[in-house]
Structure 1
Amino acid sequence: MRIRIKPYLVIILICLYTGENILGLDAVRLSDLKVKQTAIIHKVNRTLDGNLAQNDVVASRLETLGFVPGTKVQVITKGIFGGDPILIQVGFTRFALRKVEAEKIEINLEGAPA
């Protein structure tokens, strides 16, 4: 008996097995980026704990500092214990962000489809 597998199922299985996010099924966060890896900012989550009525002040401040969609970011280094804080470069400016702050920023990995 032969089993036929559709090509799109193979791609999904490869993504699940390797943890790659080439299909955009889950949001990749800036805090997940590895050292020396670059990405493009997709969006900054401005809601506080999923509550649409409250705006997150930290997220608003991140956008004011230059973390806006379409901007290229790179992780320069991470802290020794638990990777906190994370040194991020946006343009020619470097910022030290806590993991909690970096998790508010959704990114697209460079070379991956948008």
Structure 2
Amino acid sequence: MTGPIIPLDQLKLGIRARIAAIDWSALGEKEASRLRHFGFDEGVTVEPLHLGPFGRDPLAIRVGRMTVAIRRSHARAVKVATEDA
């Protein structure tokens, strides 16, 4: 991880990054639990794949080998750093 740390919702489509930090306090209990079950944790590689058609919500995110949909407001709590090219 050498790139700037930005919120996941600002990462460009198709760019892989590692989760640097998650602000669990910015998420509700259910939302935090859901992200944990999806495998969101520090050091995990993520990649935004698609944006929803209305309001660009939800975001389709690849987490490991799985693709999940999360709200943009939840993605904002996840801070990522881009990987070296």
Larger RCO, structures 1/2 (Cα 8 Å, 6+ apart):
2
C-alpha distance in 2 between matches for 1:36 and 1:77: 9
Aligned residue for 2:10?
32
SS of residue paired to 1:69: coil
- Contact 1:85 1:97 (C-alpha < 8 Å) held by counterparts: yes
CA drift at 1:104 = 1.0
SS in 2 for 1:86: strand
Corresponding position: 1:90 with 2:68: no
Q: Specify every segment of 5 or more residues in structure 1 that has no aligned partner in the other structure, as ranges.
A: 1-21, 49-54
**CA-CA distance at 1:84 after TM superposition:** 1.1
Identity value in percent: 32
AA matched with 1:36: G
Aligned ranges 1:1-114 → 2 under 5 Å: 22=3, 24=4, 27-48=5-26, 56-57=28-29, 58-111=31-84
Counterpart amino acid of 1:93? M
Gaps of 5+ in 2: none
Corresponding residue SS for 1:85: strand
Root-mean-square deviation over aligned CA pairs? 2.0
Structure 1 segments of 4 or more deviating over 2 A?
Answer: none
Say whether the 8 Å CA contact 1:44–1:105 is kept in structure 2: yes
